């Protein structure tokens, strides 16, 4: 029996967060296997519209046969521009399920997973000119240290960077592999934390290759223009770097989380928080979908006064 492309995380909570209106216009920024999109379409009426974004060409295989849906095969960071091309200026809700899909993790040749052995690619969009292989061969140890510290939050990232750059000197010029990277880094992993250590290192390289935090920054800023008054912003993140950005932006409308005030001292906030603390998966979902264990869902509504 084939495995599903991707099991949607926090499915009901994320759709509830959108407060779907039957005739509304919505954006699924991370279409993937189409799980969330199908749930949205089930709740939309005949006049509703849904735009899905995904730069992974595999996602095109999952497009529902529904005239209300349009897949845009681009990175969601360009959502504003491509929606305008389709005659859409503002929408009623934006959903983004960040990170890597189950399908991408399971495809060993993509290089996302620490399981198995595949090429060290990690590109979500194959049109990108540089995968992890080329990135590692190009950058110096100092830049690699920064990537491992900032995006992987590794302890002693300089040691990992030195190990990688040293091994590269003896590595043939053909493609590097995920097994090679695991072999280089495993001796540096803390006792009983090898899998976590490797996952953090792989995460760091993946974020760098795909400029994931830059894409999230662009989406968050664009949401200020895209969302109608009372429109919902629903974001599922999987590590502290993303979640911190989302939390600050929903709080203050900027990435620093600094609330601006007018001359009377009143807070100028573009969003009203719908969720206080982040919503997390319950024990049942975690048992059936391990990917949900690190998921954090936050929801905010565009402030009618600020929009």
What's the confidence (pLDDT) of residue 91?
98
Task: Report the 10 Å Cβ neighbour count for 275.
Answer: 15
CATH 3.40.50.970 fits 11-102+212-302, yes or no: no
Provide the token pair at 63: 């497009």
Residue 34 CB partners (closer than 8 Å, separation 6+): 5, 52, 59, 62, 63, 64
What's the confidence (pLDDT) of residue 170?
80
DSSP string of 27-79? EES--TTSHHHHHHHHH--TT-EEEEE---GGGGGG--S-TTEEEE-S-GGGH
Q: What is the pLDDT of residues 173-197, one digit of tens each?
A: 566 889 899 999 999 999 889 999 9
Judge contact between 188 and 49, C-beta under 8 A.
Answer: no
What's the confidence (pLDDT) of residue 108?
46
The arrangement of secondary structure in 111-210, i.e. its CATH architecture, is: Orthogonal Bundle (1.10)
Judge contact between 259 and 273, C-beta under 8 A.
Answer: no
Residues in the chain where the model's pLDDT stays below 70:
1-6, 101-116, 172-175, 305-307
Q: What share of the chain is helix, strand, coil (3-state, %, to 5)?
A: 45, 15, 40
Q: What is the pLDDT of residues 83-118, one digit of tens each?
A: 999 999 999 999 999 977 555 544 545 555 666 677
Residue 190 CB partners (closer than 8 Å, separation 6+): 155, 197
Q: What is the pLDDT of residues 127-139, one digit of tens each?
A: 999 999 999 999 9
Chain region(s) in the chain for CATH 3.40.50.150? 11-102+212-302
Provide the token pair at 56: 């992974």
Question: What secondary structure letter does DSSP report for 4?
Answer: P
Chain region(s) in the chain for CATH 1.10.150.170? 111-210
What's the confidence (pLDDT) of residue 25?
98
Residue 11 CB partners (closer than 8 Å, separation 6+): 35, 36, 39
């Amino acid at each position: 029996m084939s495995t599903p492309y991707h099991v949607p995380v926090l499915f009901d909570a994320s759709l509830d967060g959108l407060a779907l209106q039957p005739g509304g216009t919505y954006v699924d920024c991370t279409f993937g296997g189409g799980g969330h999109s199908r749930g949205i379409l089930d709740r939309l009426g005949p006049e509703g519209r849904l735009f899905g974004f995904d730069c992974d060409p595999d996602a095109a295989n999952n497009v529902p046969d529904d005239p209300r849906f349009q897949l845009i095969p681009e990175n969601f960071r360009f959502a504003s521009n491509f929606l305008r091309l389709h005659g859409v200026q503002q929408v009623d809700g934006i959903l983004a399920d960040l990170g890597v899909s189950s399908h991408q993790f399971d495809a060993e040749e993509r290089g996302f997973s620490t399981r198995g052995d595949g090429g060290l690619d990690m590109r979500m969009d194959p049109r990108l000119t540089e995968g992890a292989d080329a990135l590692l061969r190009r950058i110096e140890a100092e830049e690699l240290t920064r990537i491992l510290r900032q995006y992987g939050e590794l302890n002693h990232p300089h040691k990992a960077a030195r190990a990688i750059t040293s091994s590269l000197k003896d590595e043939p010029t053909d493609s590097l592999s995920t097994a090679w990277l695991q072999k280089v880094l495993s001796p540096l992993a803390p006792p009983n934390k090898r899998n976590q250590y490797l996952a953090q290192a792989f995460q760091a390289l993946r974020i760098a290759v795909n400029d994931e935090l830059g894409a999230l920054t662009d989406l968050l800023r664009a949401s200020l223009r895209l969302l109608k008054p009372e429109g919902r912003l629903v974001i599922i993140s999987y590590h502290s770097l993303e979640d911190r950005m989302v939390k600050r932006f929903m709080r203050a409308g900027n990435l620093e989380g600094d609330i601006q005030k007018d001359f009377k001292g009143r807070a100028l906030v573009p969003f009203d928080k719908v969720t206080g603390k982040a919503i997390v998966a319950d024990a049942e979902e975690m048992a059936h979908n391990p990917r949900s264990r690190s998921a954090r869902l936050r929801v905010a509504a565009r402030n009618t006064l600020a929009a």
